Structure 1
Amino acid sequence: MTVIAPNTGESRVATSFHGWLLVATCWLSSTGAVLIAPVLPLMRREFADTPHADLLTVIALVVPGLMIALFSPVVGAIVDRVGRKRLYLTAISLYAVAGILPWWLTNLYAIVASRVFIGLAEAAISTIATALVANYFSGTERQKWLTLQHASASIVAVAMFSIGGVLGSLSAGWRTPFLIYGCAIIFLPLIVKFVWEPRDAEPASPVAARLPFPWREAGPLSAFILFASVMFFVVPVQISFLITARGVSEPAVIGLGGAIANAGIPIGSFMFHRLARWPINRLLVIAFALLATGLFTIAQLPTVYTTVAGAFVAGIGSGMVLPLLGTWLIARLPFEQSGRGTGCYMGAFFLGSFLSPLLVAFLAYRGGGLIAAIGQFGVACAVVAALVLMLALVKKGAVSSVHAARADRAPLA
């Protein structure tokens, strides 16, 4: 896609280098929590004398995701008004500074506060990077990079989990993984040199500039993304507990099983990339049918092998559905509102990451344990697959592909 650089008036064409740069900065948001997850018990032990230390260490882990969920839509509105690049640089600088602070902090409350700022920075980074992908690329290229964003993030997250554990075992203990946050500064000179403030190659639409954000279209789709995100995080968050529930206690076996299960996510993202020209309804049926099949397998077949296999199948479904819905949402909005659309997507995605373990815990408490809760999630996915299938059979709903969702610009009225 050709995008105008307003400072020069010249057209610039984004390349694979730009795509990987934007995708790589999105890894900062997806790996921030898993990096410190292995050292939480060590943190809890050091701050055992602090009131509510158990709760505060968990909050330190999850509060960035909550901040992303709450503030991504706000960031999206801001970048549509003031631009992307300057806020992009500011957010990455804040991420590096706030992320490394716990290396020196000796107060658990201060550490939690630093994690709040990490979340605000991550909200800006993920929203701006995804918006720039949507601005720099179009059609199959846009869909490819949005897909790679999800697929690569899941792989990097697994690696960061291992790195965090190794660093936590060093002499400095739980503080060492926080040093990794400082490495974010390597992105600053790259962004300064290679990222430009985009402007649509076509003249701005006066109608799009005047009209309010189309919540009638984006709102229900954002709610659907929230539901899909809750389902997406069931396998990554719960897989170690599910394997343990099958009687396995060896960390090596749990780690291997988790790696196999999570491998389904990038495979699902790749499948969406290859099938993106299929009708959206058809892809949604396949994705939620895979999710339902995988979750039912976990709930009904009580061995560790079937649990890992079911989680792998569910991972394929979740890896398909989120890039599909994200591409669909952004495709329905004009350039002038792409930042807000991206903010809606990121907000729904990370709110799902926050709500998913809470909903699993609630259903497990009310409905007979973790395995039973997984079965109830499978029922929900099966119902969605059946409803979308009925719409597809009567040729209602999203009968086109994500590429045909608009003629490169969807009218808002």
Structure 2
Amino acid sequence: MQTDTENESPGTSAGRLHGWLLVATCWLASAGAVLIAPVLPFMQRAFADRPNANVLTLIVLVIPGLMIALFSPLMGALIDAVGRKRLYLISIAIYAVAGALPFWLHSLYSILATRVVVGIAEAAITTISTTLTADYFSGKEREKWLTVQLGSASIVAVVMFALGGILGGFATGWRTPFLVYAGAALFLPLIAVFVWEPAETRENRPEASVRLPFAWRQISHVCVMSLFTAVMYFVITIQISFLLTARGVTTPAVIGIGSAIANAGVPFGAYVFHRLSGWAINRLLVVSFAVIAAGFYIVSSVADVNLLVAGAFIACFGGGIVMPLMLNWIMVRLPFAHRGRGAGSYMAAFFLGNFLSPLIVAGVAAKTGSLFTAIGLLAAICAAVAVIALALVLLKRGPTEAIGAHTQFPLPH
């Protein structure tokens, strides 16, 4: 049972400190995976004498994302039932311990087990921080911080990729980057002091709010759209190194710089979404998918490496517009009592898209004959989505409301 102290605000409304604290804990999910990516080849070499080492070390990288996709809806329901803060603290403590354990472990299966635990903890952390952002802020402030959450994560990921490569060169080799996970413990005192349980989660909250059936009718189509969007969003992020290699780039530093430039499109797109959030949702869908389609088309059709990177930047720019749109679209449609499940549903769609994107691209590439042809086909699909959204705009149908114009949508009775 929660105490009165845990439930009460410290006396001031949420501000920039709270916004950045919640955003920073969301970085843990993306930063952790990217941190390990540069040392995977060395990890494979270290376990080369073990059965299926190549496959298992790849699973070490991707399994946390799959756990987030599977467990985020459960975590959303859990925090709606028991509250936010206590589970927040527990999850970050588990993340810090389980994340650092591979530094001392010598069994590949034991390392894999810790990665499963890390993924479940990440499911809780990302769901809770997103839900608290929706709890603490409303209107334009909520939209701003949910947008910052996505846009800033791509910047942090670039930094973590470089840090992982540097730490991998230390005497302890591939094990060293895992110690960075322990740094998450620094968030514990900050959360303990500055985060409070929103008042509506108390046991005396209005029964009418608790009894409301979950608004699946309001958000199910948005969750499906979020999954499709996430698959497209991760195409460039995952495939850019293969695309550059296929065009003759062999220097790791050049590949890294090209990847960083391409992914820099995401925060720029997120900023543009923030500026355009007063637009109707269907208009933003037209813009974002048209931009993604244009970027994919350039990537699939040019031979020049510089133009390829420019096209990749454009595609990421479109992704930076549409992903925060999806998150805000879900969150503004839900009352307080359902925001945890709403955030969990979005996180499940986002990370399931992360897991499925390379599989889908590989499957399409196998059918079409090349990675570039596959991305050209994805460009056509995104263009078709933009055309459908444009038709809805012209017919004044579909989601004609503006994210920045409302704090919450009415629920059906």
Structure 1 length as normaliser, TM-score? 0.96
Deviation at 1:207, TM superposition (A): 4.0
Note if 1:125 corresponds to 2:125. Answer: yes
- SS of residue in 2 equivalent to 1:411: coil
Query: What whole-Å deviation, never above 9, does each CA across 1:297-345 have from its counterpart, x for those lacking one?
Result: 1111222112101101001100000101100110000011010000001
Q: Secondary structure at the match of 1:233?
A: helix
SS of aligned partner of 1:403? helix
**Separation of aligned partners in 2, 1:230 and 1:57:** 23
SS of the equivalent of 1:223 reads helix
Displacement of 1:221 in angstroms is 0.7
Residues 232 and 357 in structure 2, CA contact (< 8 A), matched pair in contact too: yes
Instruction: Please give the root-mean-square deviation of Cα atoms over the aligned residues, in Å.
Output: 1.7
Q: Rate the CA distance shift 1:154–1:9 in 2: closer, same or farther, 3 A.
A: closer
- Partner of residue 253, structure 2: 252
1:204–1:336 contact (8 Å) kept in structure 2:
no
Q: Which residue of 2 aligns with 1:271?
A: 272
| Alpha-carbon distance between aligned partners in 2 of 1:87 and 1:200, rounded to the nearest angstrom | 16
8 Å Cα contact 1:5/1:199 also seen in 2: no
Query: Is contact 2:76-2:342 (8 Å) kept?
Result: yes
CA separation of 1:348/1:309 partners in 2, compared to 1, >3 Å: closer, same or farther? same
CA distance in 1, matches of 2:10, 2:38: 48
Q: 1:39 aligns to what?
A: 39
Q: Does 1:91 align with 2:91?
A: yes
Question: Amino acid of the residue matched to residue 323 of structure 1?
Answer: P
Q: Note closer, same or farther for the CA distance 1:8–1:162 as it changes in structure 2 (3 Å cut).
A: closer
Letter in 1 for 2:330: L
Tell me which residue corresponds to 1:80. Answer: 80
User: Who is 1:393 aligned against?
Assistant: 394
Which amino acid in structure 2 is aligned with residue 94 of structure 1?
I
SS class of match (1:382):
helix
Residue 67 of structure 1 is matched in structure 2 by 67
Partner of 1:300: 301
1:335-381 alpha-carbon deviations (Å, 9 max, x no partner): 11010000001110010110011111111111111111111111111
* Contact 1:6/1:199 (8 A) holds in 2: no
Task: State how far apart, in whole Å, the 2-side matches of 1:137 and 1:410 are.
Answer: 18
Is the Cα contact below 8 Å between 2:83 and 2:197 reproduced in 1?
yes
Contact 1:331/1:410 (8 A) holds in 2 = no
Q: Secondary structure at the match of 1:356?
A: helix
* Cα drift, residue 5 of structure 1: 7.7
- 191-200 or 123-132: bigger deviation: 191-200
- The Cα offsets for residues 232-278 of structure 1, whole Å up to 9 and x where unpaired, read as 11111111111111111111221111111111100000000011001
Displacement of 1:142 after TM fit? 0.4
State the one-letter code of the partner of 1:62. Answer: V
Structure 1: where are the runs of 5+ without partners?
none
Instruction: Check whether the contact 1:97–1:182 (CA below 8 A) recurs between aligned residues.
Output: yes
Q: Does 1:223 align with 2:224?
A: yes
C-alpha distance in 1 between matches for 2:9 and 2:217: 35
CA distance in 2 between counterparts of 1:228 and 1:155 reads 20
For the 8 Å contact 1:79–1:128, the answer to whether it is kept is yes
- Percent sequence identity over aligned pairs: 56
2:356 match: secondary structure: helix
Q: Deviations over 1:101-122 (max 9, x none)?
A: 0001000011011000000000
Q: Are residue 179 (structure 1) and residue 179 (structure 2) matched? A: yes
In structure 2, the residue corresponding to 1:13 is in which secondary structure? coil
Deviation string, structure 1 residues 38-63 (Cα, Å, up to 9, x no partner): 00000100101111001000000000
Moved more, 390-399 or 203-212: 203-212
Aligned to 1:332: 333
Instruction: Please tell me the residue identity of whatever aligns with 1:125.
Output: I
**2:106 alignment partner in structure 1:** 106
Give 3-state SS (helix, strand or coil) of 1:146's partner. helix
| Cα drift, residue 409 of structure 1 | 5.0
Per-residue deviation, 1:198: 0.6
Distance 1:332 1:411, change over 3 A: same
Contact 1:5–1:198 (CA<8 Å) still a contact in 2? no
The change in CA–CA distance for 1:79 and 1:383 in structure 2 (over 3 A counts) is same
The structure-2 alpha-carbon separation of the partners of 1:273 and 1:94, relative to structure 1 and needing over 3 Å to count, comes to same
Cα shift at 1:11? 5.6
Counterparts of 1:190-209 in structure 2 under 5 Å? 190-200=190-200, 206-209=207-210
Q: Shift of the alpha carbon at 1:407?
A: 5.4
Match of 2:156 in 1: 156
- In the alignment, the residues of structure 1 paired with residue 173 and residue 145 of structure 2 have an alpha-carbon distance, to the nearest angstrom, of 37
Deviation at 1:199, TM superposition (A): 2.3
Which residue number in structure 2 is paired with residue 410 of structure 1? 410
**Partners of 1:249 and 1:9 in 2: how far apart?**
54
**Using a 3 Å threshold, how does the CA distance of structure 1 residues 330 and 407 change in structure 2: closer, same or farther?**
closer
TM-score of the aligned structures, taking structure 2 as reference length: 0.96
Provide the rounded CA distance (Å) in 1 between the counterparts of 2:277 and 2:9: 34
> CA 1:205–1:241 in structure 2 vs 1: closer, same or farther (change >3 Å)?
same
Question: Which residue type is aligned with residue 263 of structure 1?
Answer: A
Q: Which runs of 5+ in 2 are unaligned?
A: none
Maintained 8 Å contact 2:100/2:181: yes
Question: CA separation in 2, counterparts of 1:10 and 1:255?
Answer: 44
C-alpha distance in 1, partners of 2:328/2:71?
21
**Cα–Cα, structure 1 residues 88 and 8, in superposed 2: closer, same or farther, change >3 Å?**
closer
Give the Å deviation of 1:200: 4.1
Q: Is the 1:237–1:357 Cα contact (8 Å) retained in structure 2?
A: yes
